[in-house]
Chain A
Amino acid sequence: DVVMTQSPLSLPVTLGQPASISCRSSQSLVHSNGNTYLDWFQQRPGQSPRRLIYEVSSRDSGVPDRFSGSGSGTDFTLKISRVEAEDVGVYYCLQGTHWPPTFGQGTKLEIK
């Protein structure tokens, strides 16, 4: 199975400052059809995961534009331009290029 490695695992951030989470895969996530199936999910405390980003950089409906995704091949990044209090939670990457889909370990974002 493809191993997804996130860093850092803990991310203390000051309100209003940017934040960046890295996700690296053990194999390229470029599918034979040319697409790259790498998603980002946010799990707020006590809630179920919510998808923020799909196929590397497409933002889901209702997701603030301070969230952005980028990357290619095996190296991907989720960026928050200015962290707000409601962004506290755990962020997971998920790859779907290679079966079975696999998640990263999660990155816990907290406010300093």
Chain B
Amino acid sequence: EVHLVESGGGLVQPGGSLRLSCAASGFTFSTSWMLWVRQAPGKGLEWVANMNQDGSDKYYVGSVKGRFSISRDNAKSSLYLQMNSLRAEDTAVYYCARGVSRTTDFWGQGTLVTVSS
């Protein structure tokens, strides 16, 4: 069974940094592309970043380019999202998800990031 568990969320001041982690199990992580999606409180879903299997290809939504960095460790079956220069508008639940075909199938339970002073 596919299992994705996010961690690392919390309260951070504007301008601060956080590193999110996602532990994957139940499938061959090294052969799957992976992504992060976020959901602001009471709002819809936004595709944030994705990375291919070996990390050679990455995509970021415009609003996080230059501030967020996606990475992975295939030996640990883990996905990461380094978030710098955080803003209030980055407040959201961040979901780790598995890429399949040209979209996604399984998602984790999410981790809440709150940017506030």
Residues of A in contact with B (beta carbons under 8 Å apart): 31, 37, 39, 41, 47-51, 54-55, 60, 92, 94-97, 99-106
Contacts and interface: CB of A to CB of B under 8 A. Distances in A.
25 contacts: A31-B102, A37-B101, A37-B102, A37-B103, A48-B95, A48-B107, A49-B45, A49-B107, A51-B104, A54-B101, A54-B105, A55-B101, A60-B105, A92-B45, A94-B45, A94-B104, A96-B101, A96-B102, A96-B103, A99-B59, A100-B61, A101-B103, A101-B104, A106-B44, A106-B45
Nearest to A98: B102
A103 B44 contact: yes
A103 B46 contact: yes
Contacts of B45: 41, 49, 92, 94, 103, 106
Contacts of B102: 31, 37, 96-97, 101
Contacts of B108: 48
Contacts of B44: 92, 103-106
User: Chain A interface secondary structure, helix, strand, loop or mixed?
Assistant: loop
A47 B107 CA distance: 10
Nearest to A47: B109
A48 B104 CA distance: 13
Contacts of B101: 37, 54-55, 96
Interface of B: 44-47, 59, 61, 95, 101-110
Contacts, number: 52
B107 A100 contact: no
Nearest to A33: B102
A77 to B, nearest CB: 18
Nearest to A90: B44
A69 B46 CA distance: 22
A100 B59 contact: yes
Nearest to B35: A101
A96 B44 CA distance: 17
Given A51-B104, A96-B101, A103 B110 contact: no
A37 B103 CA distance: 8
A11 B46 CA distance: 22
A41 to B, nearest CB: 8
Contacts of A92: 44-45
